[in-house]
């Protein structure tokens, strides 16, 4: 798919870091691309009926911080507060965000940052980051006044009250069924229908059946409500990673040797552990997560490849992993009830084996990638990325460059550069599996 960086920028609907809004003239092009995405996802029918949000503003009313979203039609909503860090989360049906230029205002009152986007198919989410503890003081939907738009209003007051409780629109006829209760009320009620994380028998032989195509899972980092890094031009990492994933899939598909799957094919949020679960569920023999982060020093540029290690190879790698591992927090997922670690001794054994394979794959990839792009010093690095923790799937994370660096950003926005990158990744993967096949024969 041919997609220019400029068009991608139009799709960046993320506002936590900047309050830039799509220029009006470009919106049609952006819209065309959104429609193209929808067709790919097989959702073109549904999109026609989406509520359009045309205004999003925060203000202070009688000591409360008030959020108002103008909508083209009535919607159901559910809102709840989360702690550590303090956030307010609002779930709405899938929304077509088409704010009037300049209509999105800066954070205000108790709210220090916010973002919105798809959190799963059919559900758009708004996350408000709070400066200090706050609770939902009220939420309601106002019917159209003179302006002929519905208004969703939510008030936040300072203090800690009703944490964990959710406030939802009254059950209406248009709502088909209540959400199934999957967890205790005190927790985040999001239930994501995705493959479950199963623990393997470590004895699983990874590379059987050499006649069949090798399964490779490509994981475009971030997505939906989690934009990832934002480049100087305003482009979001989530759009770069999806475009690169598609280019790599195209490259691998052309060889006929692989069955290539993406963890997401559209601008949608996926929890880190679900990315891992998808790889395992699909029987991946190689998992590659794609990223393009920012770093404080804007001069730093170049590609790097990471594999899993409890101990980070250097400070930068450790910081990067820490940032990446926060994706679930950014998306308003409550992690307080989840087991912190997935490792035990059995998994450890399987993991050691796949860590060796991962390192080998990283070697092949780096050798090919250095022919087509500039590399970061110590190109192969180690860190505790949550997304690399499948115990039995060799897993790599490629930081394709730094969006904080203007030259790297320009490259990453170029479809030509991404194709070149994809070509090198394909060659590296080819070499990795040739070696695997040879080892199987011996
Ligand atoms: Zn990232």
Mean pLDDT, residues 31-49: 44
305-345 pLDDT per residue, tens: 999 887 888 888 888 888 888 888 888 877 655 544 444 45
87-139 pLDDT per residue, tens: 999 999 999 988 766 656 677 899 998 888 898 888 999 999 999 999 898 89
What separation in Å is there between the alpha carbon of 291 and the centre of ligand 1? 4
What separation in Å is there between the alpha carbon of 402 and the centre of ligand 1? 10
What separation in Å is there between the alpha carbon of 159 and the centre of ligand 1? 33
How open is the CA angle 194-291-224, to the nearest 5 degrees? Answer: 45
Architecture of domain 50-168: Sandwich (2.60)
What separation in Å is there between the alpha carbon of 230 and the centre of ligand 1? 10
What separation in Å is there between the alpha carbon of 179 and the centre of ligand 1? 31
What is the pTM (predicted TM-score) of this model?
A: 0.70
- pLDDT of 45 above 70: no
Predicted local confidence at residue 173, as pLDDT: 41
What separation in Å is there between the alpha carbon of 293 and the centre of ligand 1? 5
Mean pLDDT, residues 263-288: 93
Specify the higher pLDDT residue, 108 or 165: 108
Name the segment(s) of the chain with CATH classification 2.60.40.3500.
Answer: 50-168
Predicted local confidence at residue 255, as pLDDT: 94
Inter-CA distances, 377 with 135, 301, 305, 346, 370, Å: 47, 10, 11, 35, 11
Cα gap 249→261, rounded to integer Å = 8
What separation in Å is there between the alpha carbon of 120 and the centre of ligand 1? 19
Q: How would you list the strands of the sheet with 375-383, edge to edge? A: 258-262, 214-220, 286-291, 395-399, 303-308, 375-383
What separation in Å is there between the alpha carbon of 289 and the centre of ligand 1? 9
What separation in Å is there between the alpha carbon of 410 and the centre of ligand 1? 17
Dihedral of CA atoms 320, 322, 328, 334 in degrees, nearest 10, equals -170
Predicted local confidence at residue 286, as pLDDT: 96
7-16, 193-202, 339-348, 377-386: the lowest-pLDDT one: 7-16
Name the segment(s) of the chain with CATH classification 3.40.630.40.
Answer: 214-334+345-441
Predicted local confidence at residue 88, as pLDDT: 92
- pLDDT of 242 above 90: yes
Specify the higher pLDDT residue, 314 or 10: 314
Specify the higher pLDDT residue, 253 or 322: 253
What separation in Å is there between the alpha carbon of 329 and the centre of ligand 1? 14
Predicted local confidence at residue 333, as pLDDT: 77
The alpha carbon dihedral of 392, 330, 312, 396 has a sign of positive
**Does the structural domain 214-334+345-441 have CATH classification 3.40.50.300?**
no
Cβ atoms 247, 415 nearer than 8 A: yes
What separation in Å is there between the alpha carbon of 295 and the centre of ligand 1? 11
* Mean pLDDT taken over the chain: 78
What separation in Å is there between the alpha carbon of 302 and the centre of ligand 1? 15
């Amino acid at each position: 798919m041919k997609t220019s960086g400029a068009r991608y920028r139009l799709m960046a609907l993320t506002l936590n870091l900047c309050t830039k809004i799509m220029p009006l003239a470009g919106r049609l092009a952006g819209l065309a691309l959104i429609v193209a995405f929808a067709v790919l996802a097989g959702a073109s029918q549904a999109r026609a009926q989406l509520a359009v949000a045309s205004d999003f503003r925060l203000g202070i009313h009688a000591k409360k911080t008030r959020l108002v979203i103008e909508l083209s039609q009535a919607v159901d909503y559910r809102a709840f507060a989360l702690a550590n860090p303090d956030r307010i989360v609002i779930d709405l049906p899938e929304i077509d965000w088409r704010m009037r230029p300049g209509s999105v205002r800066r954070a205000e009152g108790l709210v220090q940052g916010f973002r919105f986007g798809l959190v799963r198919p059919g559900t758009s989410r708004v996350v408000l980051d709070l400066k200090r503890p706050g609770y939902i003081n009220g939420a309601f939907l106002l019917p159209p006044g003179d302006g002929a738009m519905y208004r969703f209003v939510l008030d936040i007051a300072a203090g800690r009250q009703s944490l964990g409780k959710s406030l939802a629109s009254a059950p209406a006829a248009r709502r088909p069924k209540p959400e199934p209760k999957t967890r205790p009320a005190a927790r985040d009620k999001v239930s994501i229908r995705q493959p479950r994380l199963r623990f393997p028998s470590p004895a699983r032989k990874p590379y059987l059946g050499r006649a069949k195509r090798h399964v490779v899972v490509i994981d475009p980092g971030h997505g939906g409500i989690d934009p990832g890094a934002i480049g100087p031009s305003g482009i979001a990492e989530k759009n770069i990673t999806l475009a690169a994933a598609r280019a790599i899939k195209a490259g691998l598909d052309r060889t006929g040797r692989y069955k290539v799957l993406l963890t997401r094919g559209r601008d949608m949020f996926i929890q880190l552990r679900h990315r891992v679960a998808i790889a395992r569920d699909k029987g991946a023999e190689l998992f590659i997560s794609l990223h393009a982060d920012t770093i404080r020093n804007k001069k730093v540029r170049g590609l790097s490849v990471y594999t899993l290690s409890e101990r980070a190879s250097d400070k930068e790698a450790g910081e990067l992993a820490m940032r990446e591992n926060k994706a679930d927090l950014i998306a308003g997922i409550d992690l307080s009830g989840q087991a912190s670690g997935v490792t035990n001794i059995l998994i450890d054994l399987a993991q050691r084996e796949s860590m060796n394979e991962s390192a080998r794959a990283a070697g092949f990839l780096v050798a090919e990638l250095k022919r087509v792009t500039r590399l970061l010093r110590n190109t192969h690095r180690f860190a505790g990325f949550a997304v690399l923790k499948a115990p039995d799937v060799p897993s790599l994370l490629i930081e394709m460059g730094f969006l904080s660096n203007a030259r790297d950003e320009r490259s990453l926005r170029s479809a030509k550069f991404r194709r070149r990158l994809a070509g090198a990744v394909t060659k590296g993967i080819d070499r990795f599996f040739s070696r695997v096949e040879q080892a199987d024969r011996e």
